[in-house]
Each structure stands twice: as C-alpha cells, then as structure tokens.
Amino acid sequence: MRYSSTSGAKKKKTKLKKLIVVALSLSIPIVFALGSYVWYENELSPLTVKSNAISVTIQTGSTADQIAQLLQDKKVIRSAFAFSIYLRIHNLRANLQAGSYTLDSSASIIQTIGIITDGKINAHSFTILPAQRLDQIKTAFLDAGYSRAAVDKALDPTSYPNEAILNSKPAGATLEGYLYPDTFRTSSSTTPTNIVKESLDEMGKIVTPEMINAYQGEGLNTFQAITLASIVEHEVSNDHDRQMVAQVFLNRLKIGMMLGSDVTYQYAAIVTGQAPSPSLDSPYNTRRYAGLPPGPISNVSRSSLNAVAYPIKNNYLFFVAGDDGSIHYANTQAQQDANTQAYCKVLCSTY
C-alpha cells in the first residue's frame, strides 16, 4: 500500500517536533547551568570598585550562614548565598574565626573568606608604662574601655595561681611592682586578665634564676629585690647610676641605716591621699622608718631589676641628683650637704 503525500508530510512534521522537544530538553539544563555559573562568578566578585573599609564583629558561636548574612547586611559582599556556596564547595565552613575585622567591599568573596579563615582580626595594643603604680595601671585599663569588674578581676593576684614570679609575694600583697612594663597586642576578645597574665609571664622571664641567686647574695628575696628596684626606678634613670644607687641603698641596709628615699614618702602620700612630706607617718616612708618599705612603690624596668642584682660595688652612703643632670655621691653627711649646696639648688627645693 502506498502512502499519500499528505500523510507523509504530516509524519515528517511530527518527527521534527519531537527532535525540537528533545533538543530543548537537552539545552535547557545546559543553558541553566551556564547561567548559574555566570551568576555565581558575578556574585563572588567585589561589591564595589572603590575601596570601602567596613568594621565587622563576628561573635563567638556564629554559624557560617549567620556570618554570610551579616556580611551581606553590612554590605561587604554581594550575596550571602554565594558566600555559603563557596564555603560548602571548599569545605571551609568550620574554618571561619570569630573576632573583629576590617573588611573591604572592594574585595571579592574569596578574599574576604581568606581573611576570616586566617583570623586576621584587627590588632590593637595596650601599654603598661614603666614606673607606674597599680592605681595608674588600673586607670589605663578603664580608660581603654574595659569594665571595672573585669579590671578588678585582672588585678586580683588570686587569678594567677600558677605564676611562679608571684611565689615570693607575701600573702595579701597586691600585684604592685609585678606587672612588667611593655606593649601588648590585643583584639576584641582580649581581656584585662589576658594582658596581666602576659605581663606577669614576661616578668617571670626577666627575673631569671641567676638574678634570684644574685638577689639572695645581697640578702634579699625576690619580693624585697623588686621593692628596692622600684625605688631605684624612680630615683635615677640611666643604667650606670641605677647600679651605683642600688649599691648605695644596699650599703645602707647592711648597716641598718634608713634608706631616706624621698620617692617613698611621695608614694605614701599619693596612695593615702595626704600631702607629701618627709615626716608623713607611713611604713612606706623610708625617711622615717628603717629598712625596706612594705612593698614596691611601682612596677619596674629590666634596668632597675638588673641594678639590684648586679650593682656597681662602692662604699657610698649618700647621693644627690644635681641640677646639671648628674648624680653626685658622698661617704659622709658633711660631703652630702656640700654636694647638695653646690649642685642641687633647684631640684632639692621641691622636696
């Protein structure tokens, strides 16, 4: 039986339609996939061309999706969804680190993720200055924005039961004198306790076993040595004179002579809220009471700690800082009076 031309044409059209449907069914996923890829690549690109620094704090415990949404809300990235996809593809969800960051909307999502997974948090610093009293250090912490409760905890010696440097500290004594002066790097998660511990650790490294042995050779335990070093810290400023003055004080201690240091009654006046006077009635006033004061009058530098451990041997019992910037030494009170008359007209009038 022969087909008519009409029926043949119909069959050809039906076959063509089927081919078109098949072609479309195959091409749509390809087109969709290509479109998705183009979208994904675009969403990974920087949000802005111009640099725009944005501060972002990622709280501890935040999920990857919460971080992604935070960055989109802060206008750091184009798409939280693209951010999350990249993390999943590269298995980085668990690598995101909490902290405060300075991010830039001109960076790609890939660059932003790199910063957060590397933990490149904002770095700041906190400085404990030398010759600072504990109350001054406390004020510095408060001025830096730390809470009073956090600072009080940080300055409580019982917060550091394993610090070897505190072993010689008498029970009940504060951390006065023990906070080594330095600049400490901080971040948004740094607490005052972190800083104080680092400072105590540093103090423990500075005061070596050799120095402790040297202190003992001078008849001092570590607490007494730090106390004397704190006085030396305020009396003179250069290494040589600190070693000389440390020996002068040691000479006085060995013969039972009062240290007679003006800086001790000045400390007593400040911490008790009284007017400074050589006659101030305080055990810290070495112009009135023999021996070392009850404890350090400030923190101390390596220079003063070394001076007490390794003083320059001499037989002097007196010294005076002259208006010329030099330290003048004497063996007798008469020589001291003469040096004071000759060299200390301006400075000595302030005492």
Q: How far is CA 299 from the centre of its chain?
A: 16
Cα radius of gyration rounded to whole Å, the chain: 36
Is the distance from CB of 232 to CB of 297 less than 8 angstroms? no
For 180-194, how does the pLDDT look when each residue is reduced to its tens digit (9 = 90+)?
999 898 887 899 999
Instruction: For residues 286 and 330, give the distance between their C-alpha atoms in angstroms, rounded to a whole number.
Output: 19
Both tokens of residue 313?
Answer: 């041997």
**Half-sphere exposure of residue 140: CA atoms within 13 angstroms, side-chain side:** 19
Is the distance from CB of 128 to CB of 182 less than 8 angstroms? yes
Domains with residue ranges and CATH for the chain: 53-117 (3.30.1490.480), 124-205 (no CATH), 219-315 (no CATH)
For 242-278, how does the pLDDT look when each residue is reduced to its tens digit (9 = 90+)?
999 999 999 999 999 999 999 999 999 999 999 999 9
Instruction: For residues 86 and 296, give the distance between their C-alpha atoms in angstroms, rounded to a whole number.
Output: 57
Mean pLDDT, rounded, of the chain: 90
Q: Does the predicted model carry a pTM greater than 0.75?
A: no
For 42-92, how does the pLDDT look when each residue is reduced to its tens digit (9 = 90+)?
999 999 988 888 988 888 778 999 999 999 999 999 999 999 999 999 999
Both tokens of residue 166?
Answer: 């505190």
